[in-house]
Amino acid sequence: MVKLTGYKKIKAAVFISGNGSNLKSLIKFSKKKKSPISIDLIISNNPKAKGLKLGKINKIKRKVYNFKKKYKIENQILSDLKEHKVKMICLAGFMEILSRNFINKFKGKILNIHPSLLPKYKGLNTHQRALDNNEKYSGCTVHFVNSKLDSGKIILQKKIKITKNDTKNSLARKVLIQEHKLYPRSILKIFNL
Binding site for ligand GAR (CB under 6 A): 16, 18-22, 51, 92-93, 113-115, 176, 179
Q: How far apart are CA 193 and CA 191, in angstroms?
A: 5
Of the two residues 3 and 124, which places its CB atom closer to ligand GAR in the complex?
124
114, 127, 143, 180: the active-site residue: 114
Of the two residues 16 and 81, which places its CB atom closer to ligand GAR in the complex?
16
Is 84 assigned a catalytic role? no
> Least distance from C-beta 163 to ligand GAR, angstroms?
19
**Closest residue to ligand GAR, based on beta-carbon distance:** 93
Q: CB within 8 A of 80, min separation 6: which ones?
A: 41, 43, 63, 86
> Least distance from C-beta 191 to ligand GAR, angstroms?
21
Of the two residues 20 and 36, which places its CB atom closer to ligand GAR in the complex?
20
Cβ pair 11, 37 in contact under 8 A: yes
Active site residues: 114
